[in-house]
Amino acid sequence: MEYWFTYKLQKNGRIVRIGKGHCPHRSSDSVGSYLERRYGKRRWDGFTFMWHSSEAAAFKRETREIDRYVRATGSLPPWNRVRGGGGGQTYFRCRAMMSNGEHCSNLAVSGNYGFCKVHRP
């Protein structure tokens, strides 16, 4: 089974990367091992993380955290500028428009004509 999480890597108390990941065990040691394999240990000195029920939930949280960081600082975290967000994968958003004029923040379901399960069950 895979467990999904979002994380913030820190160096000297400053956020250097915001992302999402997955691991086979639901433990902080498993998250730490994932981050060490992915980024190496010497490049960062701390991390915080949050568990999620699915990859879609982790993706939405990652997007919100990156947007919050950009609003607060005016730019992406340093490592997000280089490597991007979302793990280099392409995700398609639901095509539905919400009543406030914004697009639905859910991911589209494959084979569902570009809609999520909420807007086309």
Coil, strand or helix at 107: strand
Report the distance separating Cα 105 and Cα 102, nearest Å. Answer: 9
Q: What are 23-59's pLDDT values in tens digits?
A: 999 999 999 999 999 888 888 999 999 999 988 889 8
Element housing 28 (H / E): helix 28-39
Q: What are 17-29's pLDDT values in tens digits?
A: 999 999 999 999 9
3-state per-residue secondary structure call for 32-96: HHHHHHHHCCCCCCEEEEEEECCHHHHHHHHHHHHHHHHHHHCCCCHHHHHHCCHHHCCCCECCC
pTM of the complete model: 0.70
Q: Which of 7-11, 58-62, 106-110 has the lowest mean pLDDT?
A: 106-110
Single out the residue of 102, 95, 100, 101 nearest to residue 119, CA to CA: 95
